[in-house]
Amino acid sequence: MQTFRYAACGGANTMADIVMYAVAYNFILHKHDLDLGFFVMKPHIASIVIAFCVSFPLGFFLMRNIVFTQSTLQGRVQLFRYFVLVVICLFLNYVFIKLFVEQVHIYPTFAKILTTIIVVTFSYLTQKNYTFKAEQVKTNRVGADAVKDAVRQPAE
C-alpha cells in the first residue's frame, strides 16, 4: 500500500514539478536566460529552481502525511532529511538536465522527464530507507518464551 501511495503522491508531485518547469521555461522565462545581476542562469536551469519552490513544500507534505505515516522520526528531523535529499536530487537534476540538453541535445522538457525517471528511483529508495524511516519493532523470542514458561509453571 505504501508503494501505491508513494506512486500516487510522488506522481502528482512530479507532474506538478514538470508542469511548473514547463511553465517557467516557456512562459515565465520565455526561454531566455535569467540575469540575477551577479549571475546568469540558463533558462533550463533557472526553471529547475522555480519548480523547486513549488514541489519541495508540496512533496514534503504529501510524503509525511500520506505516504510515510509510520515514521517514528520527529517532524524537524524528517524535514531536514527531506531537504538534504531534495538538495541531492536538485544536484542530480542539474547534472542530468545539463548533460541531456547541452551535450545530448534533447529538448528541455523531454530531458526533464528522462531526468525525473532517474531521480525518482533514487528518491524513493532514499525516502523509504532514510528520510521517513520507521523503526523496526524487534521481539525478543527468548524473553517471550521465558515469560510464557514462567506463567505456565506454578511457583514452588
**How many C-beta atoms surround the C-beta of residue 121 within 10 A?**
10
Give the residue from 148, 47, 38, 139 showing the smallest Cα distance to 90: 47
**How many C-beta atoms surround the C-beta of residue 104 within 10 A?**
10
Total domains, the chain: 1
What pLDDT is recorded for position 132? 87
Residue 132 is given by DSSP the state: T
H or E element at residue 41: strand 40-41
What pLDDT is recorded for position 133? 80
**How many C-beta atoms surround the C-beta of residue 62 within 10 A?**
19
The domain in which residue 98 lies consists of 2-152
- 30: which residues sit within 8 A by CB, 6+ positions away? 43
What pLDDT is recorded for position 73? 87
- 32: which residues sit within 8 A by CB, 6+ positions away? 43
What pLDDT is recorded for position 134? 76
What pLDDT is recorded for position 145? 52
pLDDT tens, per residue, the chain with 156 residues = 888 998 899 889 989 999 999 999 999 999 999 999 999 999 998 998 999 899 999 999 999 999 989 888 888 999 999 999 989 988 998 899 999 999 999 998 899 899 988 998 898 889 888 888 877 655 555 555 544 554 455 554
H or E element at residue 17: helix 2-23
The phi, psi pair for 40, rounded to 5°, reads -115, 130
